[in-house]
Structure 1
Amino acid sequence: MSEFKKRVLVGSPVHQKPSILEPFLRSLQRLACNTIDIHFFFIDDNENNESSAMLTSFQEKNQNVKIESSQLADVYLRDEHTHYWNDRLVWKVAGFKNHIINHCLEEKYDYLFLIDSDLLLEPETVEHLIQTEKDIISEVFWTRWQPNTELSPQVWLMDEYTQWEQRRGEVLTEDEKYKRHMEFINKLKEKGVYEVGGLGACTLLSQKALEKGVNFKQIKNLSFWGEDRHFCIRAAALGIPLYVDTHMPAFHIYRDSDLAYVDEFMTKEKTQVSAKEEKKNKLTLSMIVKNEGNRYLKEALEKHKQYIDEAVIIDDGSTDNTVDICLETLKGIPIHLVRNEHSKFSNEIELRKQQWEETIKRNPEWILNLDADEIFESGFATGVKEILDQEEFDVVCFRLYDFWNKTHYREDEYWRAHFVYRPFLIRYKKDFKYIWKETPQHCGRLPENVFELKSMLSQWRIKHFGWADKEARVAKYKRYAELDPESRYGWHEQYVSILDESPNLVRWTE
């Protein structure tokens, strides 16, 4: 052993079934030790003799492994629905963890890494966490705490499991809570190190933090459930900030059904295990909405939900249930929602730039810019993958058809948009200088110089329902008459033609 290596104690109370304990121990055995010297300390709380035998086998095959029996025989229940804890079990585990802490201090280890026995690690996890130079830091993992719910991280911002920012005394609507919650969740899906208010189960603690007195003892005047809450509050009171790292998420075997994904995680046969690793060719929907409640928004989002990975929504001063429709329809999809108190549409360039800036904040790979009344034809949900996977083109152009009712689009000398391919989908390039057409109306939904990038034409078509009912057409005519009375930014004859009583219509066919 090199004298320059940091000494790390990996500690775990173990009450585990063999099918889960086996990959857990295999994961520990492959931990990288290039810059650290790892020792192990298990507290054997198993009621299953086979599990105890597996710990003994691990000890025989590896150096520096310490095992102590808990001498207890509690029953711990779990099923495909959840895990069933009681107060006695919680504080029993807290006692085990404190015993490990005391051993770490007595033996003067540089770090303690506490890990639950149903987690799998990337080999470089411990070395990486040490490199962050944080006194208390967890590696993130994602879990469906209840069946058919969204994956959630094991870290939080305040109280027992609050995952949104809220100042003391601040009153938030449910919409605002959801928005802030999604901002937190989305942030953790980006690789980084972030300060949090609570963590656990996969945590590195420095000798400095241990010597300050962090531990899992119950704080008697605190009603919060779980030993991790008491640990985190004590750490904060001692002035030790808590952090989470998201570079190499652990894998949580919370249910027996999760065992099906163990080999994928351990062998890295796939680049993604559920939501635990970053998705390649992420597709971000970018959209501006305003008072779309009784129009096509819900139908459009239901279609888009089939193929997008996240959405950036700018609500431009809606006074109806537009925001509720967005949140409900895209439930399960990360949403970055921005609400303008007053509409910016009278100066469209300001609104489009806002949309762009909020979208690129999400570090997108591909950006799909659609309005709330635009829907791709059938088949696009499967066909888009081929576009996203190709590496030659960065701008993708489509034909847009202006529907005058639910089944027919308009085609005449004034309405020929579908004869032209326009950009709706682009690969975002951080090093490219994007330039906008600086006009208050008809400025374009994307920067005007995107064609400096290599573009392609797609056969997939877009159905535009913005003109599909007479009331909407009249409203748009009045709006253009007000915002562009001299037709400086649009075509006067086309403005007038909006009110044509008998335009030429063509039936749509897929």
Structure 2
Amino acid sequence: MKRSLSNRKLAIGIPLTFPYVPSTFFDSFNIMEKPDYEYIRESNGPVDEMRNNIVRRAKRVGATHLLMMDVDQIYHPKTFVTLASHNLPVVGSLIYRRYPPFDPLIYSGTMNEYLLIEDFKQGDLVEVAATGTGCLLLDMKVFDILPDPWFKFTPNPDPERTGIVGEDFMFCWNLQKAGIKIYVDTAIPAGHISMFEVNEHTYKFYKKVAKVRKEALAEYLKSQQSAEAD
């Protein structure tokens, strides 16, 4: 599924999920190195349908590759050139969840049990089972292999589990079933915009605070048990 770099036609697709575009996203998008590209934005409807419309429009303009981006991200200037250099069907940037526990959105396993990958070395290219779609470079051929609609909120296929599977993880699950590998380049992070930027440092700080709280609670419970014994 690999293509020559010289034969690529890039589309950049952005679903406008915010009622506004943060200036930090706008600035990082502007300074990011990228070749000529078709700009595709969607601004109406559920995010899964917006992503599907982006893919359909990318097909119509003859794009060979689609860079899916989100407006709640801050992108590294080398995002596209680094991801493109891997020449892979599906490769993304490292993104951390924008709310606690701020964990990295890279998982192994299957839909029945996704497991957080934490033991990666910063800078590694990591094969994953699932990741987010906030910064994902896709060879358009994957959309010929998978059926339309590619992105869809879906009830959990595991009968023992409840809830809805997000459009990003369902897409990754379908890629996995089709034998298409997914990679994340941990050298190219994309900051997640919340009330503040969520990145590796946020995640590590949260883990440290959570550990201190857990130890303090354990010490408190121990002291209570001792007091009751007396």
| Pair 1:40-2:39 in alignment | yes
- Distance in 2 (CA, whole Å) between partners of 1:30 and 1:5 is 24
- 1:287-326 equivalences under 5 Å are none
Q: Which residue of 2 aligns with 1:302?
A: none
Match of 1:129 among 80, 83, 88: 83
**Alpha-carbon deviation of 1:5?**
6.3
Q: Which residue of 2 aligns with 1:204?
A: 137
TM-score w.r.t. structure 1 length?
A: 0.35
Contact kept? 2:91, 2:137, Cα under 8 Å:
yes
- Distance in 2 (CA, whole Å) between partners of 1:226 and 1:9 is 23
The letter of the residue matching 2:176 is A
CA radius of gyration, larger in: 1
Residue deviations 1:422-454 (CA, integer Å, cap 9, x gap): xxxxxxxxxxxxxxxxxxxxxxxxxxxxxxxxx
- Distance in 1 (CA, whole Å) between partners of 2:200 and 2:131 is 22
Contact kept? 1:160, 1:225, Cα under 8 Å:
no
Contact kept? 2:156, 2:165, Cα under 8 Å:
no
| Pair 1:249-2:189 in alignment | yes
| Pair 1:185-2:185 in alignment | no
The letter of the residue matching 1:216 is F
- Distance in 1 (CA, whole Å) between partners of 2:190 and 2:169 is 20
- Distance in 1 (CA, whole Å) between partners of 2:122 and 2:192 is 19
The letter of the residue matching 2:114 is T
Q: Which has the higher contact order (CA 8 A, sep 6+)?
A: 2
The letter of the residue matching 1:27 is S
Gaps in structure 2 of 5+ consecutive residues: 158-162, 216-230
- Distance in 2 (CA, whole Å) between partners of 1:276 and 1:221 is 27
Q: Which residue of 2 aligns with 1:21?
A: 22
- Distance in 2 (CA, whole Å) between partners of 1:229 and 1:106 is 25
Contact kept? 1:155, 1:244, Cα under 8 Å:
yes
| Pair 1:142-2:96 in alignment | yes
- Distance in 2 (CA, whole Å) between partners of 1:11 and 1:25 is 14
Q: Which residue of 1 aligns with 2:106?
A: 155
CA RMSD of aligned residues (A): 3.2
Identity %: 22
Match of 1:274 among 183, 201, 224: 201
The letter of the residue matching 2:85 is Q
The letter of the residue matching 2:106 is V
The letter of the residue matching 2:125 is V
Residue deviations 1:181-203 (CA, integer Å, cap 9, x gap): xxx3131x521111111112211
Structure 1 residues 193 and 273, CA gap change in structure 2 (3 angstroms)? closer
Structure 1 residues 232 and 29, CA gap change in structure 2 (3 angstroms)? same
- Distance in 2 (CA, whole Å) between partners of 1:161 and 1:123 is 34
- Distance in 1 (CA, whole Å) between partners of 2:57 and 2:142 is 15
Gaps in structure 1 of 5+ consecutive residues: 45-69, 73-91, 165-183, 262-271, 278-304, 307-324, 330-510
| Pair 1:231-2:158 in alignment | no
